[in-house]
Amino acid sequence: MASQPVTWTSVSKSARGLLTTMQHTLTVFGLSAVAVLALLYTNPDAAKKVSQLLHPETAAPAPVANVAAAPAQPVAQAVAVNHVEEVRDAKLLGTTKQQQNVTSWLAKRYRVAGDAANMLVSTAYMTAHEIKLDPLLILAVMAIESGLNPFAESPMGAKGLMQVMAKVHHDKFEEVGGAEAALNPVANIRVGAQILKDYVKRTGSVEGGLKTYVGAADFESDSGYGAKVLAEYNRLKQVARGKYVPTRTPPAPAQMVVKQAEPATPAPKADEAAVAEAKSETLANL
């Protein structure tokens, strides 16, 4: 079938048809828009819903802020607690300079080799950090109990640096190798320090803990043991701060006891004849 030739008339008809269709479409859209605007103007609720659909709002910031702020206080408390623990741990560990001061002073005071004293002090500080006890208190007990002699033994069976009764506290030695480890410096310090901490916690004071540690819990007095340990502890605190403390403690002044004068022994009565003779001799010599 042969195609018909394109003429100007046919093109113009097509163009007019397309324009007519577009006019009708725009008219429909225009009328629809006017109707929608009229509806929105007369119905505020519908307008609000359309506005929310066209411009969806993000989640309300207030609840989110409250939710985020809720854990702020616990977090702040946790940070504060961690800071306090860090400060306490740093105090228990001490600085390198403090440990050096303590090591040098103890080595001179108790005539211990520098390397040995350094090992004992380091162990005391590390143990104190682990069990949360003052390292200088541990060292003070070691000094009074054994004079820093790791092989010291008492007639009652106390052994090592902190003079621990291995038979009594055998359960604590099980964690460090058994009762045979009582003369092991590291094991002895660890067990002795743990015992001391338990006694301090039980009695509620360092003085009470020391009294129990020395075995005088049921007695009225500990015979001055606690005072000796605390005096050494105070000296170690001064040493750790870099202050000069003599390595030799002057002995306590002796108390002067005034004895009551003994009554004079009455002289025996001389023989009257001898007295007369003495008088006559004296007169003759004149």
pLDDT at 180: 79
For residues 19 and 83, what is the distance between their CA atoms, to the nearest angstrom? 81
pLDDT at 46: 57
pLDDT at 286: 44
Predicted TM-score (pTM) above 0.95: no
Question: What domains are defined for the chain?
Answer: 96-240 (1.10.530.10)
pLDDT at 64: 46
**Residue 31, token pair as written in the block:** 């009328």
**Residue 26, token pair as written in the block:** 């725009």
**Residue 139, token pair as written in the block:** 């060292």
For residues 114 and 23, what is the distance between their CA atoms, to the nearest angstrom? 107
For residues 196 and 201, what is the distance between their CA atoms, to the nearest angstrom? 9
Crossing angle, helix 114-131 and helix 72-93, to 10 degrees? 160
The H or E element containing residue 165 is strand 164-165
DSSP one-letter string for 91-123: HHH--HHHHHHHHHHHHHHTT--HHHHHHHHHH
Question: How many C-beta neighbours within 10 Å does residue 103 have?
Answer: 22
Among 101, 124, 104, CA closest to 114: 104
pLDDT at 277: 53
**Residue 195, token pair as written in the block:** 């015992």
**Residue 260, token pair as written in the block:** 């009551």
How far, in whole angstroms, is CA 36 from its chain's centroid?
73
Among 231, 166, 162, 222, CA closest to 197: 162
- CB contact at 8 A, 187 and 178: no
How far, in whole angstroms, is CA 232 from its chain's centroid?
22
**Residue 186, token pair as written in the block:** 């590291």
pLDDT at 274: 47
* Residue 108 exposed, middle or buried by CB count within 10 Å (0-12, 13-18, 19+): middle
For residues 116 and 136, what is the distance between their CA atoms, to the nearest angstrom? 17
Digits of tens for pLDDT over the chain (286 positions)?
Answer: 455 555 656 656 666 766 666 666 555 555 455 455 555 445 556 555 655 554 555 444 444 444 444 455 555 554 444 544 555 555 666 789 999 999 999 999 999 999 999 999 999 999 999 999 999 999 999 999 999 999 999 998 899 999 999 888 878 878 777 777 888 999 999 999 999 999 999 999 999 999 999 999 999 999 999 999 999 999 999 999 999 999 997 765 544 444 444 455 554 444 455 445 544 544 444 4
pLDDT at 173: 79
